[in-house]
Structure 1
């Protein structure tokens, strides 16, 4: 059973007067913030240093990563609950809408965006938010993005400054920190998550037979990964499988070479 909002009352509610500990939420009465187009994530303004971390991993490291990646996935029934309506899909959509906007505003690297999505899906798979309480969605998005930025970015603004784009709700730092702690606890403090971006360098190197994949190819692969993970269908697959599919789709190779790359992956995959 997913933890409910009510079951976390000790964390979210003040015991003395039963008022929320998030009473410092400020509501902008001007209306809901506009919908943001995140069809594509523009990586043009991302510095080349953002791709320095994409270095082909050794077979031994990848084997360990494949073994560990299942620990960084949402609950197995998450996709079924999203498709069946048990979970409100609009919550995920709204949260991602804001995360994409904030990521574009600050020009952070792609890994922080991948981590934000990972934290969001893992949290939503184990924690049930009440329907209709809109401020919780924005608070969750801010907290996921803040945690991801702290994990990946060198320079991170104060959490209150991450709330960009005329948000309907504005949260104080202590409120965001409470939400961050709730996410950390719910995810078992496993924040160095393995995402498709973690595997893309390995598969590009495998398929291209180059130790260091071309940065332009990495950028195209990351762009495709970011576009894929906005939807829910990708939740059917492991991060390594998504990375393998993306690498193969962007590299035009003879059929026999593609088959060899896939075979090599499944040899690694046997360690699961």
Structure 2
């Protein structure tokens, strides 16, 4: 019999009825009706081609066929329980694997994780550098942080505001354009400098190479510390930073707790 065709519900009913030698008490344990227990047993007998119980004046009796399989059946259910417990270990684990672009990891995420980890000595993080979402299962990811316009196919919540801001060196003095792949101005003009990401664009602006338009969440700490100066007001954008994960990961207690802590953290 193929594993996919194992009549697990029927076997569960068989185990309960065999322990109690009573369809009524088995039904009470399983929170179903005695008639439903009888139907499951008859269906199982039809599938297996054996008689599982005999009715006698004293009540139900197990047939030799049932007795021959009961020990293995109960061992199997114990192994199922062990398998479920093993799969649930990750729920109580305090190890989190997070994928995020390098720039937001360096300029925002690490600082927030340090705050979150205070007093939690058993907490461990693995940070994966990724501009695009990796395969969550293949990479064993719990959570990802993306600059995007929404959660896409996954569950998600935005952190901070979806706004971009233009920054330059504190002393100002140059309106030359610093471009990066996600810049709102990408491709609109001939930039003075092109860099790989918004974090490098902020560094270039801080070093006096010109002005860069970057996500406000990414630049908040540098603005607050005076490393760069803000030019004008932030501009709302369709894109912001989103914490995302498939539903199974999203439901984990450790992921829920981290998301709650991060989603309210906007500025340093």
Say yes or no: TM over 0.5. no
- Relative to its length, the structure with more helix (as a share) is 1
- Relative to its length, the structure with more strand (as a share) is 2
Q: Which has the higher contact order (CA 8 A, sep 6+)?
A: 1
* Structure number with bigger Rg: 2
* TM-score normalized by the length of structure 2: 0.20
